[in-house]
Amino acid sequence: MKTALVTGGNKGIGHEVARQLAARGFHIFVGARNRGAGHAAAKAIEKNGGKATFLEIDVADNTSVTATARELAKIADHLDVLVNNAGIMVDGDDAILKISDDIFRKTLETNMLGALRVTRAFEPLLTKSKAPRVINVSSGGGQLTGGADGWAPAYCISKTALNGVTSQLAAALPKFAVNSVCPGWVRTDMGGQGAARSVEEGADTIVWLAADAPQNLTGKFLRDRKEIPW
Question: What positions carry a catalytic annotation?
Answer: 155
Beta bridge partners of 137: 181
Question: How do 220-223 and 226-227 pair as beta strands?
Answer: antiparallel
Rounded Cα distance between 196 and 175, Å, is 36
Amino acid at residue number 108: L
* Dihedral (CA of 8, 33, 4, 217) sign: positive
Amino acid at residue number 159: K
Cα angle 54-31-9, degrees, rounded to a multiple of 5:
100
Collapse the DSSP code of 56 into the 3-class scheme (helix H, G, I; strand E, B; otherwise coil) and give the result. Answer: strand
Cβ neighbours around 18 below 10 Å, total:
31
Rounded Cα distance between 21 and 18, Å, is 5
